[in-house]
Amino acid sequence: MLSLNSRSWIGILATAVVVFAGLNLWQWQRSPSVELTDQEIADRFNVLWSGRDNTWRKNSFLGIRTLQNPLDVWVTFEIIHKVKPDVIVETGTLQGGSAALWAMFLEHVNPEGRVISIDIENESAKARALPISRRRVDYLIGSSTDPKIVEEVRRRVEGERVLVILDSAHYMDHVLDELRAYAPMVSLGSYLIVQDTTMNGHPTAPDYGPGPYEAVEAFLDDTDDFVPDRSRERLIMTNNPMGFLKRVR
CATH of the domain at 71: 3.40.50.150
Q: Is residue 65 part of a domain?
A: yes
Is 23 in the same domain as 110? no
Q: Is residue 70 part of a domain?
A: yes
Q: Is residue 40 part of a domain?
A: no
Q: Is residue 42 part of a domain?
A: no
Helix (H, G, I), strand (E, B) or coil at 90: strand
Contact 46, 53 (CB under 8 A): no
The neighbouring-strand residues paired with 139 are 117
| Cα–Cα distance for residue pair 168/93, rounded to 1 Å | 8
User: What are the residue ranges in the chain where pLDDT is below 70?
Assistant: 1-34
Is 62 in the same domain as 19? no
Is 60 in the same domain as 165? yes
Q: Is residue 127 part of a domain?
A: yes
Q: Is residue 149 part of a domain?
A: yes
DSSP 144: T
Is 6 in the same domain as 98? no
Is 226 in the same domain as 138? yes
Q: Tell me what pLDDT residue 20 has.
A: 43
| Cα–Cα distance for residue pair 127/179, rounded to 1 Å | 26
Q: Tell me what pLDDT residue 9 has.
A: 40
Taking Cα atoms as reference points, which of 99, 84, 230 lies closest to residue 245? 230
Contact 50, 198 (CB under 8 A): yes
Q: Tell me what pLDDT residue 33 has.
A: 52
Number of domain units in the chain: 2
Q: Is residue 45 part of a domain?
A: no
Is 7 in the same domain as 122? no
Give φ, ψ of 141 to 5 degrees: -105, 120
| Cα–Cα distance for residue pair 6/12, rounded to 1 Å | 10
Q: Tell me what pLDDT residue 6 has.
A: 44
Is 84 in the same domain as 2? no
DSSP 185: G
| Predicted structure pTM score | 0.86
* Residue 19 belongs to domain spanning: 1-35
Is 196 in the same domain as 152? yes
Is 109 in the same domain as 11? no
Buried b / exposed e along 39-64 (16+ C-beta atoms within 10 A):
eeebbeebeeebeeeeeeeebebbeb
Is 138 in the same domain as 196? yes
Q: Is residue 3 part of a domain?
A: yes
Buried b / exposed e along 6-20 (16+ C-beta atoms within 10 A):
eeeeeeeeeeeeeee
Is 97 in the same domain as 28? no
Is 127 in the same domain as 223? yes
